[in-house]
């Protein structure tokens, strides 16, 4: 029934679902939020848009303060919706039906404990009607979406009311809608007033946009999760300086280790040590400001600005050399200024060699990005996202 609804959606007038996307509120966790509504009558909630996971979930009543984080909207109450149902364990969208079943999954109530790189959430899988679109004129309702009704979570998701998984697994929103492709354009990181739209379906396109580059997704090895969008990053340059990074630094190994993914739900780009050391050294060679401890901001390389009003020094663009396309990052997409303590920091971190590297959302700001799941490609173009 769900796939039937998705195909009917694709054949509708606009062939898409859309959701306003905005930067997290001040004091949040550095994420981008999409707004959608759940249940009948529909209850709107802001959720982290995460291409690095699959589960769609929101916090559900009842949920005590010590079990759930404080969220900006009322808790969704399944007892108040006429379209809520517990997802049967025999459903192909049940997380318990995956072989091997993830830890914490149990039947007959289809309970789950879903973990992330940082944080976790636990509850029961349900089935609901979801409403997309910011106004009655462009709203689309889709029945039978499998989602997580969480009644216990860590506090890593503050500023949101849950999360929408946009990964490649069966329970993600992309897969459940049979969308084929989706796009987003993340507004500047410190601009909390602008919004853009996440599109799923036929209207997700970069047609007519100049400067588009495309790179193929790397196939996941059989031992790796099928959630992630792996990319082949071949090298990094800072200005005209090609960094001496080993050619296999970002290789995806047959045992599922290594590789690089693009992840809208992670803020800071994380590079394996062999690459990070080269980036760090190149920046140090160009900056004459004194270094300063940035551990309070959980960043490794920071510089002291003369005063809170001081502009940072000019820096060249950083280029990520992907298979078939270059992604050019202006300085404001890899360095960040904290005016309150006169810090100017590199928004990248270190992973151990052999671990998975991640292209985070800070480096994706002001980039119009299209995930074409059917064609197995990622396309992108520099764009002023607040103008879309």
Three-class SS of residue 321?
A: strand
Catalytic one among 50, 65, 155, 300?
A: 50
CA 200 to chain centre: 15
Distance CA 185, CA 183 (A): 7
Query: Scanning the structure block, which residue is given the tokens 């916090």?
Result: 59
209: which 2 tokens? 């946009």
258-281: buried (b, 16+ CB within 10 Å) or exposed (e) per residue? Answer: bbbbbbbbbbbbbbbebbbebbbe
- Give yes or no for a contact between 32 and 22, defined as CB atoms under 8 angstroms apart: yes
- Give yes or no for a contact between 260 and 357, defined as CB atoms under 8 angstroms apart: yes
125: which 2 tokens? 């899988």
The 8 Å CB, 24+ separation contacts for 187-190 are 187/21, 187/22, 187/23, 187/365, 187/366, 187/385, 187/386, 188/23, 188/332, 188/365, 188/366, 188/385, 188/386, 189/23, 189/30, 189/336, 189/361, 189/362, 189/365, 190/23
Nearest to 296 by CA among 350, 360, 340: 340
Q: How far is CA 83 from CA 17, 40, 80, 129, 160, in A?
A: 20, 6, 9, 6, 23
Measured in residues, the chain has a length of 388
- Does the active-site annotation cover 13? no
- Does the active-site annotation cover 50? yes
* β pairing state of 57-59 and 162-165: antiparallel
Catalytic one among 5, 54, 263, 372?
A: 263
Three-class SS of residue 285?
A: helix
Instruction: Please list the active-site residues.
Output: 50, 263
């Amino acid at each position: 029934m769900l796939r039937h609804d998705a195909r009917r959606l694709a054949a509708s007038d606009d062939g898409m679902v859309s959701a306003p996307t905005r930067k997290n509120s001040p004091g949040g966790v550095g994420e981008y939020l999409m707004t959608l509504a759940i249940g009948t009558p529909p209850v709107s909630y802001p959720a982290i848009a995460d291409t690095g996971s699959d589960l769609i979930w929101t916090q559900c009543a009842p949920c005590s303060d010590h079990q759930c984080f404080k969220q900006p909207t009322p808790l969704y109450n399944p007892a108040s919706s006429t379209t809520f149902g517990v997802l049967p364990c025999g459903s192909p969208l049940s997380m318990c039906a995956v072989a091997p079943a993830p830890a914490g999954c149990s039947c007959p109530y289809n309970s789950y404990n879903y973990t992330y790189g940082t944080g976790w959430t636990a509850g029961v899988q349900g089935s609901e009607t979801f409403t997309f679109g910011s106004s009655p004129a462009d709203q689309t309702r889709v029945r039978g979406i499998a989602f997580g009704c969480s009644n216990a979570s860590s506090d890593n998701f503050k500023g949101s009311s849950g999360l929408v998984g946009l990964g490649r697994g069966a329970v993600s929103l992309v897969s459940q809608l049979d969308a084929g492709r989706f796009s987003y354009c993340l507004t500047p990181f410190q601009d909390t007033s602008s919004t853009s739209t996440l599109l799923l379906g036929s209207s997700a396109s970069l047609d007519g946009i100049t400067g588009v580059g495309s790179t193929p997704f790397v196939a996941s090895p059989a031992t790796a999760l099928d959630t992630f969008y792996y990319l082949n990053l071949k090298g990094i340059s800072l200005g005209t300086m090609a960094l001496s990074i080993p050619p296999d630094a970002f290789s995806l190994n047959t045992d599922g280790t290594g590789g690089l993914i693009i992840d809208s739900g992670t803020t800071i780009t994380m590079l394996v040590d062999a690459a990070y050391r080269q980036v760090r050294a190149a920046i140090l060679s160009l900056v004459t400001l004194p270094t300063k401890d940035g551990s309070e901001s959980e960043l490794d390389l920071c510089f002291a600005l003369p005063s809170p009003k001081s502009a940072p020094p000019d820096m060249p663009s950083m280029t990520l050399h992907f298979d078939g396309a270059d992604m050019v990052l202006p300085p404001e997409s890899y360095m960040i200024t904290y005016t309150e303590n006169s810090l100017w920091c590199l928004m990248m971190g270190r992973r151990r060699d052999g671990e998975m590297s991640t292209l985070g959302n800070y480096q994706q700001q002001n980039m119009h990005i299209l995930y074409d799941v059917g064609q197995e490609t990622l396309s992108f173009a520099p764009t002023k996202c607040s103008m879309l």
